Amino acid sequence: MSGDQDGRDIAVAGPWGVRVMSKKCTTCIYRPGNLMHLAPGRLAQITREAIDCEGQVVCHESDGVTPGTGQPAAVCKGFEEHPQSRRSLALRMADALGWTVYVDPR
């Protein structure tokens, strides 16, 4: 699990596998141009914190971010493409077991 900005745990893995976005959403924080208007250095901080705890960055467009939807969240495609993303335990497990489930942005 990985926490959101409010400290809630967000699951990206379950008996179905590990959900990963199939492509970057239109406002992905990993797209050029700072489309989400992050403060300077914030993207690097988000990425570093995820890597340091063997977690992942959850896509804000994935269904599970909205409480009560019943859908699990998904790993951000931009994070998955990061050179150090395989420090994420969920992504390592998905790779090892063939459990990656790609989902489309809404």
Mean pLDDT by 10 residues, the chain (106 residues): 51 87 93 91 95 93 59 90 95 94 86
Number of domains within the chain: 1
* Alpha carbon 89 to chain centroid, angstroms: 12
Asked if residue 94 is part of any domain, the answer here is yes
How far apart are the C-alpha atoms of 59 and 41, rounded to whole Å? Answer: 19
Residue 58 is assigned to a structural domain of this protein: yes
| Assigned domain for 10 exists | yes
Residue 105 domain flag: no
Q: What is the pLDDT of residue 70?
A: 63
Q: Where in the sequence is the domain holding 11, given as residue range(s)?
A: 2-100
pLDDT at 1: 39
In a domain, 106, yes or no: no
Q: What is the pLDDT of residue 10?
A: 72
Q: Name the one residue in this structure whose structure tokens are 């409480």.
A: 67
